[in-house]
Chain A
């Protein structure tokens, strides 16, 4: 009894192999979790199953017949995908979105009443009370995710593919979704979903398949495998080995202190210290205000605070350019959108920020070339030629270019926002080493990350954010995943313990 069979599926983009020889079976009435690091190939496998991208080789069978190769044909055959990036029309109403492309009609016209009623039902089954006549742009993201899910269930599919469905959901909403998934499964439907949250996988999946570097390395019944075992299968080695040794947490001087930092709609009353020579980890769910906290601190979004101290002296919050001048660097999580000029050469990218702050009016191309050569050596940027554009590099090498660009200004405080997103395991380890070296040199380091192991593995101290506030602080040996999750979920509200951390 199989619903969907992947037989020796491979996929490459150009010369880059993304999936290699995937053999996998999905049974009717089961929930299969796909786990793996960023870049392991989870989304690509989902896209292939949904008919969004053809495999380079191999075959897929649905109920014994070849799977149609286009999105529309796949939908007709009963495979529906819930996208990570929302594929919804912001200017249409909720009901119109739920039935987009599948409108209920009466004669020549769409039957608005029937669609609104049905949409209300579908959303109620997901525990959502989103108003069906509201336009999407007026609703919060968590509603969008629910509407995306309702849209998928409205198609009455055999198989739903969900790419990170819980990333923007609260714990309650995720619970509602899981109830719905169980009902769908009990009615004979199948679900493949990806998640970074291994506790969720334990909770909802019947089986789990672990992807690493484009291959399936382990398939187990979920009850037979622990979260730690999954994580180790994902990275391919014991967790302890990929992180640099922790530095002792002796008394360190405060480099930057802020009290009562507020940025409307994103950060509320955040008070924190950042100290010389330590790695401060920032955890919390997506949307909890982690990125926004540091954007507010460095003039990248409007904010105010009660007090701001830098190197012992009080001053007002810096503007974006002032922050760089004060040697405060923010390394964005959005490498392509905010980090690098993908169409420009590597030397221009590396020189961009440094040149903007204190560069001469005339550009010295030879010096830029020398800087690039030095950066390529120091950060092990792997590129065949030096005169390629930044967009031509792999994710890991782009990240190293972004690091080189940021560190070119010789900052004293560096905020790494999701420094290893979309980066392969080898580059990941190198980035960890760079971070550890910087801390050892006496820089103050902040690491914002969604990857729990990364936070636990790297940090000397951890602040957990929840709904724009700092919900808890952990330090030294007290740092562990369970407590971080409790703070992030709001199970244990404690004020930040400024002094208790030593």
Chain B
């Protein structure tokens, strides 16, 4: 009888890539992105201009970096709803730290470097906290990170006393290049995203750690019985997520120079949406960073096209994004778990 169930579990026998359906499945998000860009170029002349593209990429970089972390968490079968609130918290406490530290370090690059290190520590610590609660405390990831989402948001609102926490004007020039700067003509946020995405893809697909992440998401019991350090790997995915949020926040802070209680609102949903649109299985077991990046760009370009053309109200942006998420999941519905 086992022989029978085997076949039902194995309908998707071939690894993707051989058949036409396989190719579509593998490259689906990419095809969707190309279609979207074709539509955009038909509807607006300025769409394919370097300025517009750079603008979309730069704005997408922040969600993109967070979504790289989310790809790790989701591939391992987890979920992190707290990323938006965490970035508000990291932004707030980092600005407070920099305003204070400016007295000793001065308004130069040392201060910026210290700020970056500080935010990375806060992000990693928050991720570690989430991970330990979920893994050691054996509480559902949804519950822990939903709680953390409320806590982080509430703490930053309290710290800002309901208003905003602003970076001192004297420090803004030093931090400015992180968002507005260019290297070899490419905006810094885009470069940072590219580096993080490439490293992420290599780690997830080519390294032992990534293999373990996918194995745990695929079947945690099998992973445990296969000598994989399940707890350590699961906790680390949340730490990676925290670090990614910190990096994204470091890029975000110079853009507005302030953190408010509404900073990062709904970012968790955008990041998760990007991961899913990119073809990572929401139930875990299979993830791909390049897909996530394509997912982020799809979301970015939808909003961009609506803004450029005025043909459809930009207020309907959310409706388009929502529809695309549902379609993406419908398309991957029949796929086996990995």
Interface residues of chain A, those whose CB is within 8 Å of chain B, are: 13-14, 16, 18, 38-39, 41-44, 300, 320-321, 324-325, 330, 332, 334-345, 348, 352-353, 355-357, 359-363, 385, 387-396, 398, 405, 409, 421-424
Contact = CB atoms under 8 A, between A and B. Distances in A.
Nearest to B221: A338
A389 B9 CA distance: 9
B285 to A, nearest CB: 6
Contact of B228 (A44, A356, A391): A356
Contact of B208 (A336, A360, A394): A360
24 contacts: A13-B4, A18-B1, A39-B3, A43-B1, A44-B4, A334-B221, A336-B5, A338-B221, A338-B225, A341-B285, A344-B338, A352-B215, A353-B226, A356-B208, A360-B208, A361-B207, A362-B206, A388-B14, A388-B15, A392-B6, A392-B9, A398-B6, A409-B227, A424-B3
A422 B7 CA distance: 13
Contacts of B229: 321, 356
B219 interface: yes
Given A39-B3, A355-B211, A332 B225 contact: yes
B338 A38 contact: no
B170 interface: no
B198 to A, nearest CB: 15
Contacts of B211: 348, 352, 355, 363
A391 B228 CA distance: 21
B102 to A, nearest CB: 40
B222 A355 contact: no
A196 to B, nearest CB: 13
Contact of B221 (A337, A353, A388, A421): A337
A343 B14 CA distance: 10
Nearest to A84: B1
B10 interface: yes
Given A345-B15, A363-B207, A395 B215 contact: no
Contact of A356 (B221, B226, B336): B226
A394 B6 contact: yes
B225 A343 contact: no
B15 to A, nearest CB: 5
Q: How large is the interface on B (under 10, 10 to 19, 20 to 34, 35 or more residues)?
A: 35 or more
Contacts of B221: 334, 337-338
Nearest to B10: A392
Nearest to B219: A341
Give chain A's interface secondary structure class. mixed
A18 B227 contact: no
Contact of A18 (B4, B206, B215, B226): B4
Given A300-B225, A341-B219, A394-B7, 14 more contacts: A16-B7, A18-B1, A18-B4, A38-B2, A44-B1, A332-B225, A336-B9, A338-B221, A341-B218, A343-B285, A352-B215, A353-B227, A360-B208, A362-B208
B336 A389 contact: yes
Chain A CB count within 10 A is highest, among B208, B214, B222, for B222
Contact of B227 (A44, A320, A385): A320
Interface in B191-236: 206-209, 211-212, 214-215, 218-219, 221-222, 224-229
A362 B228 CA distance: 16
Contacts of A338: 219, 221-222, 224-225
A393 B218 contact: no
B10 A342 contact: yes
A362 B208 CA distance: 6
A234 B15 CA distance: 37
B6 A341 contact: no
B15 A13 contact: no
B208 A359 contact: yes
B337 A343 contact: yes
B104 interface: no
B337 A342 contact: yes
Which residue, A357, A392, A409, has most C-beta atoms of chain B within 10 A?
A392
A17 B226 CA distance: 33
A54 B285 CA distance: 33
A396 B225 contact: no
Nearest to B1: A43
A300 B338 CA distance: 26
A398 to B, nearest CB: 6
Interface of B: 1-10, 12-15, 206-209, 211-212, 214-215, 218-219, 221-222, 224-229, 285-286, 336-338
Contact of A344 (B206, B215, B227): B215
A372 to B, nearest CB: 13
A14 B5 CA distance: 11
Contact of B4 (A16, A362, A396): A16
A113 B221 CA distance: 43
Residue among B6, B7, B214, B286 with max Cβ neighbours from chain A (10 Å):
B6
B16 to A, nearest CB: 10
Nearest to B337: A343
Contacts of A393: 6, 10
B3 A395 contact: yes
Given A16-B3, A385-B14, A341 B338 contact: yes
A300 B227 CA distance: 10
Nearest to A323: B227
Contacts of A422: 1-3
A341 B223 CA distance: 8
Contacts of B10: 342, 388-393
Contacts of B219: 337-338, 341-342
A336 B226 CA distance: 13
Given A348-B211, A355-B208, A388-B10, A423 B227 contact: no
Contacts of A341: 215, 218-219, 222, 285, 338
Nearest to A364: B206
A352 B286 contact: no
A342 B212 contact: no
A344 B75 CA distance: 13
Contacts of A396: 3
A321 B228 CA distance: 7
Listed residue (A42, A345, A394) with the most chain B CB atoms within 10 angstroms of its CB: A394
